[in-house]
Structure 1
Amino acid sequence: MNVGGMSLRMLVEKWFAPTSTAPARLVRFGRMTSDQRRYVCVESARPDGTLLIFFFRHDDGTWRVFPPAARCATMGT
Protein backbone atom coordinates (compact mmCIF):
# COMPACT_ATOMS: atom_id res chain seq x y z
CA MET A 1 0.00 0.00 0.00
CA ASN A 2 1.33 3.42 -0.89
CA VAL A 3 -1.11 6.11 0.18
CA GLY A 4 -0.26 9.61 -1.05
CA GLY A 5 3.43 8.87 -1.55
CA MET A 6 5.89 7.51 -4.01
CA SER A 7 6.84 3.91 -4.50
CA LEU A 8 10.42 2.88 -3.88
CA ARG A 9 10.98 2.58 -7.62
CA MET A 10 9.74 6.15 -8.19
CA LEU A 11 12.01 7.48 -5.43
CA VAL A 12 15.05 5.71 -6.88
CA GLU A 13 14.26 7.18 -10.30
CA LYS A 14 13.80 10.65 -8.77
CA TRP A 15 17.02 10.66 -6.71
CA PHE A 16 19.32 8.65 -9.01
CA ALA A 17 17.94 9.08 -12.55
CA PRO A 18 19.54 5.74 -13.45
CA THR A 19 20.84 5.12 -16.95
CA SER A 20 22.53 2.18 -18.64
CA THR A 21 25.92 3.77 -17.96
CA ALA A 22 25.07 4.81 -14.37
CA PRO A 23 22.63 2.23 -13.01
CA ALA A 24 21.31 2.31 -9.46
CA ARG A 25 21.75 -0.89 -7.52
CA LEU A 26 20.46 -2.23 -4.25
CA VAL A 27 23.41 -2.80 -1.93
CA ARG A 28 21.73 -3.50 1.40
CA PHE A 29 18.28 -4.19 2.78
CA GLY A 30 16.83 -5.37 6.03
CA ARG A 31 15.00 -4.31 9.14
CA MET A 32 16.06 -1.72 11.68
CA THR A 33 16.96 -3.41 14.97
CA SER A 34 15.04 -0.93 17.10
CA ASP A 35 11.56 -1.50 15.67
CA GLN A 36 11.87 -3.97 12.78
CA ARG A 37 10.86 -1.45 10.11
CA ARG A 38 12.24 -2.04 6.64
CA TYR A 39 15.04 -0.12 4.96
CA VAL A 40 16.99 -0.38 1.71
CA CYS A 41 20.28 1.17 0.64
CA VAL A 42 20.75 2.07 -3.02
CA GLU A 43 23.95 3.29 -4.69
CA SER A 44 25.10 4.54 -8.05
CA ALA A 45 28.57 5.40 -9.35
CA ARG A 46 28.81 8.99 -10.56
CA PRO A 47 31.65 10.90 -12.23
CA ASP A 48 32.07 12.93 -9.04
CA GLY A 49 31.81 9.94 -6.67
CA THR A 50 29.39 7.32 -5.41
CA LEU A 51 25.86 8.37 -4.47
CA LEU A 52 24.45 6.24 -1.63
CA ILE A 53 20.99 6.77 -0.13
CA PHE A 54 19.03 4.87 2.51
CA PHE A 55 15.24 4.66 2.06
CA PHE A 56 12.93 3.83 4.97
CA ARG A 57 9.47 2.25 4.91
CA HIS A 58 6.86 4.10 6.96
CA ASP A 59 3.71 2.71 8.60
CA ASP A 60 1.49 4.09 5.82
CA GLY A 61 3.40 2.05 3.23
CA THR A 62 5.39 4.95 1.77
CA TRP A 63 9.16 5.01 1.32
CA ARG A 64 11.09 8.12 2.35
CA VAL A 65 14.68 9.24 2.74
CA PHE A 66 14.23 9.88 6.47
CA PRO A 67 13.45 7.24 9.08
CA PRO A 68 10.01 7.08 10.68
CA ALA A 69 9.50 8.51 14.15
CA ALA A 70 10.24 6.09 16.94
CA ARG A 71 7.28 4.25 18.35
CA CYS A 72 6.55 5.04 21.97
CA ALA A 73 5.45 2.43 24.44
CA THR A 74 1.80 2.66 25.33
CA MET A 75 -0.28 1.16 28.08
CA GLY A 76 -3.83 -0.05 27.59
CA THR A 77 -6.56 -1.33 29.83
Structure 2
Amino acid sequence: MRAASEQSLRFLVEKWLAPTPSAPVHVTEFSRTRLGGRRYVRVETSLEGGSRGLFFFRHDDGCWCVFPPTADTPTALGYPRAA
Protein backbone atom coordinates (compact mmCIF):
# COMPACT_ATOMS: atom_id res chain seq x y z
CA MET A 1 0.00 0.00 0.00
CA ARG A 2 1.29 3.44 -0.88
CA ALA A 3 1.55 6.34 1.52
CA ALA A 4 -1.15 8.99 1.15
CA SER A 5 1.43 11.51 -0.06
CA GLU A 6 2.40 9.16 -2.92
CA GLN A 7 -1.20 9.11 -4.15
CA SER A 8 -1.46 12.85 -4.65
CA LEU A 9 -1.39 14.48 -8.04
CA ARG A 10 1.21 16.95 -6.79
CA PHE A 11 3.58 14.14 -5.78
CA LEU A 12 3.29 12.45 -9.18
CA VAL A 13 3.73 15.68 -11.13
CA GLU A 14 6.90 16.45 -9.17
CA LYS A 15 8.13 12.86 -9.62
CA TRP A 16 7.52 12.60 -13.38
CA LEU A 17 7.95 16.18 -14.63
CA ALA A 18 10.37 17.63 -12.02
CA PRO A 19 9.17 21.25 -12.17
CA THR A 20 11.59 24.06 -11.37
CA PRO A 21 11.15 27.83 -11.06
CA SER A 22 12.50 28.18 -14.61
CA ALA A 23 10.34 25.31 -15.92
CA PRO A 24 7.01 25.37 -14.05
CA VAL A 25 4.17 23.00 -14.88
CA HIS A 26 0.73 23.92 -16.17
CA VAL A 27 -2.53 22.02 -16.38
CA THR A 28 -3.36 22.06 -20.09
CA GLU A 29 -6.42 19.81 -20.08
CA PHE A 30 -8.79 18.19 -17.63
CA SER A 31 -11.98 16.27 -18.14
CA ARG A 32 -13.52 12.83 -17.72
CA THR A 33 -12.85 9.67 -19.70
CA ARG A 34 -15.45 8.52 -22.22
CA LEU A 35 -15.47 5.05 -20.69
CA GLY A 36 -16.41 5.20 -17.04
CA GLY A 37 -16.41 8.99 -16.69
CA ARG A 38 -13.30 9.03 -14.53
CA ARG A 39 -11.23 12.17 -14.10
CA TYR A 40 -8.00 12.84 -15.94
CA VAL A 41 -5.60 15.77 -16.09
CA ARG A 42 -2.89 16.64 -18.62
CA VAL A 43 0.06 18.51 -17.12
CA GLU A 44 2.79 20.07 -19.25
CA THR A 45 6.15 21.73 -18.69
CA SER A 46 8.19 23.74 -21.19
CA LEU A 47 11.90 23.18 -21.58
CA GLU A 48 14.52 24.66 -23.88
CA GLY A 49 14.28 21.58 -26.11
CA GLY A 50 10.49 21.73 -26.25
CA SER A 51 7.57 20.88 -24.06
CA ARG A 52 6.64 17.59 -22.45
CA GLY A 53 3.42 16.54 -20.87
CA LEU A 54 1.74 13.60 -19.20
CA PHE A 55 -1.79 12.46 -18.55
CA PHE A 56 -2.71 11.50 -14.99
CA PHE A 57 -5.79 9.39 -14.28
CA ARG A 58 -7.78 9.28 -11.05
CA HIS A 59 -8.51 5.73 -9.89
CA ASP A 60 -11.45 4.51 -7.80
CA ASP A 61 -9.29 4.33 -4.68
CA GLY A 62 -8.56 8.07 -4.99
CA CYS A 63 -4.97 7.80 -6.17
CA TRP A 64 -3.63 9.35 -9.37
CA CYS A 65 -1.62 7.25 -11.85
CA VAL A 66 -0.04 7.70 -15.29
CA PHE A 67 -2.18 4.84 -16.63
CA PRO A 68 -5.99 4.67 -16.84
CA PRO A 69 -8.01 2.44 -14.52
CA THR A 70 -8.35 -1.14 -15.78
CA ALA A 71 -12.11 -0.75 -16.25
CA ASP A 72 -11.44 2.08 -18.75
CA THR A 73 -8.87 0.12 -20.76
CA PRO A 74 -10.43 -1.40 -23.89
CA THR A 75 -9.90 -5.12 -24.33
CA ALA A 76 -8.40 -6.51 -27.52
CA LEU A 77 -11.06 -8.03 -29.77
CA GLY A 78 -13.57 -7.96 -26.95
CA TYR A 79 -11.76 -10.59 -24.90
CA PRO A 80 -10.58 -9.88 -21.34
CA ARG A 81 -6.86 -9.84 -20.61
CA ALA A 82 -5.13 -13.07 -19.71
CA ALA A 83 -3.91 -13.33 -16.13
2: CA distance between counterparts of 1:65 and 1:48?
23
In the other structure, the counterpart of 1:63 is: 64
**Alignment gaps of 5+ in structure 2:** 73-83
In the other structure, the counterpart of 1:35 is: 36
Which string of whole-angstrom CA distances, capped at 9 and with x for unpartnered residues, describes residues 22-53 of structure 1?
Answer: 00000000101111100000000112221110
2: CA distance between counterparts of 1:16 and 1:57?
18
Alignment length, in residue pairs? 69
Q: RMSD of aligned C-alpha atoms?
A: 1.4
Q: Which has the higher contact order (CA 8 A, sep 6+)?
A: 1
Runs of 4+ in 1 over 6 A off after TM superposition: none
What amino acid sits opposite 1:59 in the alignment? D
TM-score normalised per structure 2 = 0.76
SS of residue in 2 equivalent to 1:26: strand
2: CA distance between counterparts of 1:35 and 1:7?
21
In the other structure, the counterpart of 2:81 is: none
In the other structure, the counterpart of 1:75 is: none
**Alignment gaps of 5+ in structure 1:** 72-77
Identity rate of aligned residues, in percent?
A: 52
User: Equivalences for 1:1-77 in 2 at 5 Å?
Assistant: 4=2, 5-70=6-71
Flag the structure with higher helix content: 2
